[in-house]
Structure 1
Amino acid sequence: MRSLPRTFDTPLPIDAVLDELLRTLQQRNAAVLVAPPGAGKTTRVPLALLDEPWAAGKKIIVLEPRRIAARASAERMAKTLGQRAGETVGYRVRFGSKISRTTRIEVVTEGVFSRQILDDPELTGVAAVLFDEFHERSLDADLGLALARDAQTGLREDLRLLVMSATLDGARVGKLLGDAPVVASEGRAFPVETRYLGRRSDALLERQMADAIATALRADTGSVLAFLPGAAEIRRTQTFLAERIHDAATEIVPLFGALDAAVQDRAIAPAPKGQRKVVLATSIAETSLTIEGVRIVVDSGLARVPRYEPDIGLTRLETVRASRAAVDQRRGRAGRTEPGICYRLWDEPQTASLAPFTQPEILSADLSSLVLDLAQWGVSNPATLSFLDAPPAPALKEAKNLLRELDALDADGRITEEGKSLRALALPPRLSRMIVDAHRFGTGEAAADIAAILTERGLGGDSIDLDARLDQFRRDRSQRAVSARDMARRWAAQVASGELVPDGGTATHLAHSGRANGLAAPSPLAGEGRGGGATTAVSRLGTPTPDPSPQGRGEPSSRAPRTRGERRESSRDSKRSSVQAAVELSTGVMLAFAFPDRVARNRGNGSFVLANGRGAMVEQTSALARAPFIAVGELTGTAASGKILLAAPILQDEIERHFADHIEVADEIFFERGAAALRARRRTTLHAITLSESPLAISPSEESARILADGLIALGFDRLPWSKTARQWRDRVMFLRKAEGESWPDLSDDALIARRADWLVPALHDKTSLKDLSASDLSDAVMALLPWDLRARLDREAPTHFEAPTGSMLAIDYEAEQGPTIAVRLQELFGLDTHPSIARGSVPLVLELLSPAQRPVQVTRDLPGFWRGSYAAVRTDLRGRYPRHPWPDDPASALPTRRAKPRGT
């Protein structure tokens, strides 16, 4: 085994494979290192690579998924060398960097690296890039690896790439890197015992976690690391623990991303001698951190992950069961420095049902920043790069649409000068757009403060009102808030100084592809590329959906072309090329610069409809619940019933002045159900929300007739003024269609509804309501559907009446279930020895034979058969009851009659 440097005082499992790894990277320019938690890969491997010949005089960049891991790793490596961070080993993260001219190992967050390589594709002076904990599969890690591999194959064949992980499919990553060798380190430093506690569904998670931690403290020695899904659960668990633990020698500390760096450092520092520590952490502590003295892990088995939902155009946090890889990582935290114990709040058989790995962020994220970065790289199709998982096509399309709306991409998907300006701010594109637009009104600094709050969870408190958060943020003296304000000032200064796009820069090219990168000047910020891991919505402009009329009817309507200003010129549009005189923009206006699709109108009782057509609620106790219009920065929930988490009021005249390019003024005709009539209005709309409207007079036209017809059909086909004659006429035509075939038109309800443009719309050309349509108008309209040559045949083959031998005209019922039917007194058919029929004799009429009192006595389709058969029984039964009526022995030859015999005969 390779002898350890003097500074490597403590042997680690990774030491056994260091020689193999160094030989591999001497011979190949890419490798994969798979090593379990606690093996020492994060802090030992970069130091081991420093003295390699291929690294002489160059830097090694190490990527970490989180700021705390980057700082802690750099500090630990520096301590190993007997130095301070910023000398041989340094770090670069949002809100702070320790780098000097002598720094050889630079530990950075994944977003920082993405910006570094985009600004310098050749990675000048860099010998190797190490992707630590790659199994977490963040969007920036996937992007960084794809860009680094592209640069390696096209520009820097000597650049070494090393992907490191504890729970990774090494062979799959190796294939992505050109069949790179996989080096595996076996075994943990120390064994870990697993104890399954189960979890009750009828008790609070936090209470059960507190119970489990208290039990572990009583049963075992050492400090405790407990995993919970989020900050809220951590605070509640901390409260429950304080009720159970009264030992002054036990310190309870939280650990999550929204804490000050000093508080985080305190959490990962070893407990003082003779004391114990309970660290309540999110998944931030899963990887790359070693907390001295921890030999107990209590795992809730839950994680909180961002999920982008295209249907509602936002990213929301979702609590899910952690993957098997994640819980294995957590378990490993207990065995970093000595044998440990892991308590799990689930039953052992449930482990097998966990997902093998955490879903890669690229499959469920908003891809607008990724697409903009790829456009800066000169790539419009991600398939040309080496992504372990391809970005989903629908999400890519959506991201491109948003970036075109922001003027960041042109029609061909190439980055514009405006796009370069937006990307240079190291923020999500929408927030960059907000600062740039606000700067042109002299309020860039205020917009930068808003961007800081939106990208750093917890800054400014948790008020729904953005103005309240801004006020608290500006008064906050914590180190995290001070650093965030400094960064916001730099964003604003960067925009104000015009340092967003290089002057006359020369495009660089990848040698193997000839793609122009069109690179922007390096950002003066030491910030992360995605705004520091924001979990709030940074998404597409929602697709507008029709806004219901004020009465909530949503019936068919017509929108005429814009009648005032086809595309209004907004103050933002007209001044994008120059800075205006300072204007005091409201917080709501600046927020809407980023999210014009989330301007919302109050529907009452705290209910709002957003410009993208979604519905959302705000707490009725908030003053925002009474604002006519608001701009929404954060919301969660479903498309129909979202919950607003952050917003600011905005006035209607501000909307009309600053967002005129999104506003439409249109004359509309719509159908009002209650009145069954047309109404007309002039509406001013911002996508799906109505800003104002006024009534208009209606001038009947073909278009208004179509809307009225659609509205009447939706109201109910039977609501049309159908006369008995019209219904019978339709029944006769439908009878002949069934009897003779499709030469007769289909006049069923469904067919007439489908063909309403042929008969109903013409009948409504001069009408504006149902009451204007008479029964005769309707009859004439539907009867016009029958060709002239069939009209005479209709009367012959499907007559309205049958003439009885007595001369009586008997109505034929074409609606009868058994077929065309007549009801006739038996005596009126005497002397008729053939059965009556229609449709040229092909269809016999159904005869409902009546007694002299008009009561049914027999139904037949064979009158001669009736005379010969059952008539005798009917005669016997009825002649005693009706003695004054004739009951001849031979009805087929008797005279028909409508009358009774005279009395006394």
Structure 2
Amino acid sequence: MIRTAALDALPVREAVPALVSALDGHGTAVLCAPPGTGKTTLVPLVLAGLVGGGPRRRVVVAEPRRIAARAAARRMAWLLGEQVGGAVGFTVRGERVAGPNTVVEVVTTGVLLQRLQRDQELTGVDVVILDECHERHLDADTVAAFLLDVRETLRPELRLVAASATTDSAGWARVLGRGSPGGAPVVEAAGVSYPVETVWAPPARPVRPPHGMRVDPAQLTHVASVVRRALTERTGDVLCFLPGVGEIARVAGQLAGVDAEVLQIHGRAPAAVQDAVLSVADHRRVILSTAVAESSLTVPGVRVVVDSGLAREPRMDHARGLGALATVRASRAAGRQRAGRAGREAPGAVYRCWAEAEDGRLAAFPSPEIRIADLAQFALQAACWGDPDATGLALPDAPPAGAMAAAREVLVAVGAVTPAGGVTARGQRMARLGLHPRLARALLDGSAALGGRRAAEVVALIGEEPPREYGDDLAGAWRRARAGGDAYAARWRTEVGRLERAAGATAEARPRTPLGSGAVPDDAAAGLVAALAFPERVAKARGEGIFLMAGGTAAELGDGSPLRSAPWLAVAVADRAPHSASARVRLAAVIDEDTARTAAAHLLSDGEEVHWEDGDLVARAAERLGAIELAVRPLRAPDPALVRAALLDGLRAEGLGLLRWSPDALALRARLGFLHRTLGGAWPDVADDRALLERADDWLEPELSRARRRTDLARIDAGQALNRLLPWATGEAARLDELAPERLEVPSGSRIRLDYSAEHGQPVLAVKLQELFGLAQTPRVAGVPVLVHLLSPAGRPAAVTADLASFWQGGYRAVRAELRGRYPKHPWPEDPATAEPTRHTNARLRR
């Protein structure tokens, strides 16, 4: 019997007529409805004609998470007074509860994506509702783009609704209404009127911000204390949001002894625990949850939310091929969703574990997954759809070009697409497996080598990382899962069955390289599958617990790992903390070199390597597996072009000081630098090493081509080489000594070397004062007055001037008064203009 009273109590019913009208007129609509209004439950039933008397239509509701899909189906079935599997059913990965009479089917976005690839017309479906589209999961964005493509090209009658509580309604209206003036209609529903009080509860002392996966233990201790506070200050159940399973476990440990049942809900939680959380209880509860409880789910009895303010987002290091989850500050939209959980049934409160002043600095919405995640699976889906570059898809955000290029490289390496981007038959098989392309490759090739069951077991372990207590040894974790009776082992066995069936349905004729499935032990089998999935992560030992992966990144094992002494590893799960040079190995298996060569055959190379290393040229023939050196022998006759390039690299790295710079060569460089600054034109720029290296062909040949090592560079006379840069073609080179003379003759007859080394200054003439008697004006070089450093008889600076005339008239008297008592044997005439210039003392002059 239909529960009419419960249906009538859902606030979204007031917006349903406008939604139906929008769909009748435009075929697409955006539904904005706050939490608790019934958008996930009443709207599908009305659009399907199961309530309200409308025409019967088949409706598919796409949810971002399995737990939400199951819960939504159960709630709708309850409202109809039925069991799940009748008029309302659900399908998630590895589980389907639906029948021939199912009219409303709730599926995960991943399941819907697979259906669209098998049947682009989505035959038999009249309406698709994309629920919680504000979360911006990649699968949801992709599904929306594919459905809009279907509407435009194949089925204009297919109706499409994007529904959320806190979405960017204007953005989704533009996407769904592509080509329509004003976009798709936006229908808004009034929310539940129960107020939610905000209590700001920041830590008393500063805590370290999240870093990678790490959350400051002091922050978790504070969250636990806020939960205890909320239990004493408020009534009803407490729902606490934390970023991940590990944080949930730690906070649960700190809540031991509270007067309430402590439950943990997340994507890996057993079905029994999920059912207990979503059921009415006769006792007080504290529910510790990840983001799975942000939306779609109504947790009965909750009157208080404690929000840690943290969330997990995927991050992809494309250069290293390492993906990981990162802990970030939750967006304001997520904060509103979380707070709304407290006001679904009655007035409530949200305790926010940060300061009110910080709230305005938070991001408005979560980062779209397409901007930050690994795009290999998306790129394969797009290629299978017929749009490899995804340029024709109506996506809310375009995929970053760099991430798509990295994804294309992965797909080419596993044989899923051609270098031009077209999907291969193998790629089509991979896409049907519902796995990341790397894992799909491991399942297909591993099944051919080991048998479908064993390959599926290892792929299932890698695809859903086992609990940390299983350890970091993949083979050991495999044995534990086989024998285990815990919740993870149960989920693992279900996934193994799905993968074994899928592998059998998409089996290839034979493996690329026969590996002999008959007698491969479990440890070797685990390593083979992991290496097939992540060939760039096969790793060779560099020391105890330290490895170099083929992709070029160092990897480290934790203390106490049983894998620390292995010569080779296949790393299945690894992450790299921000600013860390090494990856942390989370799950790996021991392999041998032959397995590494087989799995990563596309990374094998054998060729000449000539490069600058540790201060000298290294020339060798090397066989490599990516960045891993397998075998090396010295090269007696390396390619001269490679040698020359390597020597230039050395000069760039260590500077032109590797050449022989005599005092004359340094002086010539300074003179040429002065002329370039002063006259420009044909006079070359020689002051900057980079400028000189760019013109290496003009001045370092043929000496550079004859060099073979560092010592050969040291024999090159830099001054002689620099002469090649003089402007010989214009004839200006002949004027070098005229324009920038090496020496100047002074009145005493001495020829004094000029110093041109001041980078932006004048040439310097450092000369004893007595040698300039009678010189009225400052000498000039290339029209520039020299800077005269007047020296005492002992050669020490006495004065500096660029205007000798002014010095003789004023400054000389002060210098004479100070120095003639110190140097009485030297002439200090009152009138230097008429005195005889000299290098000698008075006694020499009298002679």
Report the TM range for the smaller structure's normalisation.
0.7 to 0.9
The answer to whether the 8 Å contact 1:838/1:845 transfers is: no
* Distance of 1:268 and 1:722 partners within structure 2: 81
Of residues 556, 566, 571, the one that matches 1:617 is 556
**Residue 216 (structure 1) aligns with:** 230
Distance 1:92 1:222 in 2: 33
Q: Is 44-53 or 117-126 further displaced after alignment?
A: 44-53
- Larger deviation, residues 462-471 vs 83-92: 462-471
Q: Is the 8 A contact 1:810 1:823 kept in 2?
A: no
Show the counterpart of 1:506: none
Matched, 1:265 2:269: no
The correspondence for 2:192, drawn from 170, 173, 188, is 188
What is residue 757 of structure 1 aligned with on the other side? 697
Cα offset, 1:754, TM superposition: 4.0
The share of aligned pairs that are identical, in percent, is 37
Distance 1:9 1:867 in 2: 107
Structure 2 partner of 1:399: 407
Name the count of aligned residue pairs: 819
Q: Give the equivalent residue in structure 2 for 1:375.
A: 383
Residue equivalent to 2:66: 67
SS across alignment from 2:40: helix
Pick one of 720, 723, 726 that aligns with 2:665: 726
Q: For the structure 1 residues 94 and 849, does the alpha-carbon distance in structure 2 shift closer, same or farther, using more than 3 Å as the test? A: closer
The match for 1:327 among 335, 339, 351 is: 335
Specify the code of the residue in structure 2 equivalent to 1:43: T
Task: Check whether the contact 1:632–1:648 (CA below 8 A) recurs between aligned residues.
Answer: yes
Q: In the alignment, which residue of structure 1 is the partner of 2:450? A: 442
Q: 1:269 to 1:731 in 2, by over 3 A?
A: closer
Deviation of 1:426 (Å): 0.7
- Following the alignment from structure 1 to structure 2, what is the Cα–Cα distance between the partners of residues 354 and 854? 68
Q: In structure 1, what is the Cα distance between the partners aligned to 2:806 and 2:174?
A: 90
**Does 2:512 correspond to 1:576?**
yes
Post-superposition Cα deviations, 1:832-888, rounded to whole Å, max 9, x if no partner, equal: 88989787999789696875x878888899999999997999799979977899999
- Counterpart in 2 of 1:518? none
Is residue 781 of structure 1 aligned with residue 717 of structure 2?
no
SS of the counterpart of 2:267? coil
Match of residue 290 from structure 2: 282
Matches within 5 A, 1:475-874: 475-478=483-486, 480-498=488-506, 576=512, 582=518, 584=520, 585-604=524-543, 606-636=545-575, 637-638=577-578, 640-673=581-614, 676-697=615-636, 701=640, 703-712=642-651, 714-733=653-672, 742-748=681-687, 750=689, 751-772=691-712, 777-786=717-726, 793-794=735-736, 810-815=751-756, 819=763, 821=765, 823=767, 826=770
Distance 1:201 1:871 in 2: 70
Which stretch of the first structure deviates more once superposed, 488-497 or 361-370?
A: 488-497
Q: Distance in 2 between the 1:319 and 1:764 partners?
A: 53
| CA drift at 1:119 | 1.1
Q: For the residues of structure 2 that align with 1:677 and 1:450, how far apart are their CA atoms?
A: 46
Q: 1:481 to 1:777 in 2, by over 3 A?
A: same
Distance change >3 Å, CA 315–CA 755, structure 1 → 2: same
- How far residue 427 of structure 1 moved from its aligned partner, in angstroms, is 0.5
Structure 2 gap ranges (5+) = 178-182, 208-217
Does the CA contact (< 8 Å) of 1:736 and 1:798 recur in 2? yes
Contact 2:450/2:525, CA 8 A, preserved across alignment: no
Match of 1:137, as an amino acid?
R
CA contact (8 A) 2:674 2:756 kept: no
1:65-86 CA-partner distances (Å, limit 9, x unpaired): 2111211222222233333211
Between 424-433 and 593-602, the greater mean CA deviation after superposition: 593-602
Moved more, 430-439 or 729-738: 729-738
- Equivalent-residue separation in structure 1 for 2:838 and 2:307 (angstroms): 99
Question: How far apart, CA to CA, are the structure 1 residues paired with 2:515 and 2:826?
Answer: 109
User: Larger Rg: 1 or 2?
Assistant: 1
The structure-2 alpha-carbon separation of the partners of 1:40 and 1:114, relative to structure 1 and needing over 3 Å to count, comes to: same
Q: Which moved more, 1:471-480 or 1:724-733?
A: 724-733
* Pairwise CA distance, 1:193: 3.8
Q: Give 3-state SS (helix, strand or coil) of 1:257's partner.
A: coil
Distance 1:695 1:220, change over 3 A: same
User: Deviation per CA, 1:517-558, whole angstroms, max 9, x where unpaired?
Assistant: xxxxxxxxxxxxxxxxxxxxxxxxxxxxxxxxxxxxxxxxxx
Give yes or no for contact 1:438–1:590 (8 Å, CA) kept in 2: yes
User: Given that residues 46 and 54 in structure 2 are in contact (C-alpha distance below 8 angstroms), is that contact kept between their aligned partners in structure 1?
Assistant: no
TM-score (norm: length of structure 2)? 0.84
**Cα offset for 1:96?**
1.7
Quote how far apart the aligned CAs of 1:623 are. 3.4
Work out the CA distance in 1 between the residues paired with 2:822 and 2:66.
109
CA distance in 1, matches of 2:800, 2:329: 72
Can you list the C-alpha shifts for 1:176-233, whole angstroms capped at 9, x where unaligned? Answer: 3334443333231644444333333457333333333333333443332222221112
Q: Per the alignment, in what secondary structure is the counterpart of residue 399 of structure 2?
A: coil
The aligned amino acid for 2:607 is A
Classify the secondary structure of the residue corresponding to 2:59.
Answer: strand
Q: For the residues of structure 2 that align with 1:895 and 1:207, how far apart are their CA atoms?
A: 87
Cα distance, 1:749 vs structure 2: 5.4
Question: Which position in structure 2 is the counterpart of 1:466?
Answer: 474
| Structure 2 SS opposite 1:77 | helix
Matches of 2:169 and 2:813, distance apart in 1: 96
SS in 1 for 2:423: coil
Cα distance in structure 1, aligned partners of 2:162 and 2:29: 7
DSSP 3-state at the match of 1:307: strand
SS in 2 for 1:812: strand
C-alpha distance 133-857 of structure 1, shift in aligned 2 (>3 A): closer
Answer whether contact 1:712 1:770 (CA < 8 A) is retained: no
Q: 1:586, CA displacement in angstroms? A: 4.1
Q: Cα distance, 1:446 vs. partner?
A: 3.2
Query: What amino acid is aligned across from residue 184 of structure 1 in structure 2?
Result: E
State the one-letter code of the partner of 2:246: A
Tell me if structure 1 keeps the 8 A contact 2:747–2:775.
no
Is this contact kept in 2: 1:763–1:777, CA < 8 A? no
Whether the 8 Å CA contact 1:30–1:161 is kept in 2: the answer is yes
State the partner residue of 1:51: 49
Q: Residue 232 of structure 1 aligns with which residue?
A: 246
The one of 418, 421, 429 equivalent to 2:437 is: 429
> What CA distance in whole angstroms lies between the structure 2 residues aligned with 1:592 and 1:281?
34
8 Å contact kept, 1:459–1:469:
no
Q: CA RMSD in A?
A: 4.3
Q: Which residue of 1 aligns with 2:215?
A: none
Shift of 1:390: 3.1
Distance, in Å, in 1 between the alignment partners of 2:412 and 2:301 is 53
Distance 1:292 1:500, change over 3 A: farther
Partner residue, 1:505: none
Q: CA deviation at 1:284?
A: 0.8
**Which residue type is aligned with residue 13 of structure 1?**
P
**Whole-angstrom CA distance in 2 between matches of 1:426 and 1:41:** 28
Q: Which segment drifts farther, 894-903 or 215-224?
A: 894-903
The equivalent position to 1:15 in structure 2, one of 13, 16, 34, is 13
AA at the equivalent of 1:262: A
Query: What SS class does the counterpart of residue 42 from structure 1 fall into?
Result: coil
Residues 728 and 580 of structure 1, relative CA distance in 2, 3 Å threshold: same
Higher relative contact order (CA 8 A, sep 6+): 1
How far is the alpha carbon of 1:743 from its aligned partner?
4.5
Secondary structure at 1:121 match in 2: coil
Match of 1:567 in 2: none
Change (3 A) 1:641 1:395: same
Describe the SS at the equivalent of 2:126: strand
SS at match of 1:768: coil
CA distance in 1 between partners of 2:818 and 2:666 (Å) = 40
User: For the residues of structure 2 that align with 1:357 and 1:860, how far apart are their CA atoms?
Assistant: 67
| Paired residue secondary structure (1:626) | coil
Cα distance in 2 between the residues matched to 1:835 and 1:87: 110
**Residues of 2 paired with 1:893 and 1:903: CA distance?**
12
The one-letter code of the counterpart of 2:722 is V
Tell me the TM-score normalized by structure 1: 0.79
What's the CA shift for 1:437? 1.9
Task: Tell me: CA distance 1:460–1:494, structure 2 relative to 1, closer, same or farther (3 Å).
Answer: farther
CA distance, structure 2, for counterparts of residue 198 and residue 354 of structure 1: 15
- Give yes or no for contact 2:58–2:125 (8 Å, CA) kept in 1: yes
